[in-house]
Amino acid sequence: SQQGEEDPQALSIQEGENATMNCSYKTSINNLQWYRQNSGRGLVHLILIRSNEREKHSGRLRVTLDTSKKSSSLLITASRAADTASYFCATANQGGKLIFGQGTELSVKP
Amino acid sequence: ETGVTQSPTHLIKTRGQQVTLRCSSQSGHNTVSWYQQALGQGPQFIFQYYREEENGRGNFPPRFSGLQFPNYSSELNVNALELDDSALYLCASRDFITDTQYFGPGTRLTVL
């Protein structure tokens, strides 16, 4: 079963705009990871945020984590057509097992 | 490039057959996990191997089994294939220092 939900399920924006995706989860976590997937291929790791962190940046990516609300968000700034993909959040327990959400399908139009 | 490789890329089998999928983990990673991703869904955890022992299993029946070898490569075996086993199978190796898990490109299994 899935850990939680991602919102929205699909997002369509113009190149240059920002994209925000949200993720909610149900149980306590060790860390939360965001992944990108292009057209049913393998998952590309984007960023990991630990349960004791609130915000993390990597290039055009900004991730926040609110453990009291059991939620996280991924912001992609100045989006590009190449950012078109499915984005998944995954929570990890101490054993390393990842539990994924359903994903957000992002479409960036040139 | 994550350094995690999987073979084969695609596979077509018929119901009732058996299949073996293979994964080579990133150098130095001694933990490998397998995930099943049905079309339009997020990946679901099948099981995890650490130093050749299974140390975590998801909600999958015993006909899903695995092995990890001394070089930390791994196999996923599925017996008595069912139509619902059609999916993308992903393996991931874990970096214990950063907790990051790196995924391979996947094997697309179609069961007819």
Q: Chain B within 8 Å of A102 (Cβ-Cβ)?
A: yes
Looking at residue A3, what is its pLDDT? 60
Structure tokens at A89: 């959040």
pLDDT at B3: 87
pLDDT in tens, A19-71: 999 999 998 899 999 999 998 788 999 999 999 999 999 999 999 999 999 99
A68-99 pLDDT per residue, tens: 999 999 999 999 999 999 999 999 987 888 99
Which pLDDT score is estimated for A93?
Answer: 84
A92 touches chain B (CB under 8 A): yes
How many Å lie between the alpha carbon of B15 and the closest alpha carbon of chain A? 23
Q: Is the pLDDT of residue B67 over 60?
A: yes
State what percent of residues in chain B have pLDDT above 90.
79
Give the list of residues 6+ apart from residue A51 with CB closer than 8 angstroms, or none. Answer: A28, A29, A30, A31, A32, A65, A67
Query: Cβ distance B11 to B78 under 8 Å?
Result: no
Flag whether residue A94 sits within 8 Å of chain B, measured between CB atoms. no
Query: Which residues in chain A are closer than 8 Å to B98, comparing Cβ atoms?
Result: 48
Tell me the residues of chain A between 33 and 72 that have a Cβ less than 8 Å away from chain B: 33, 35, 40-45, 48, 50
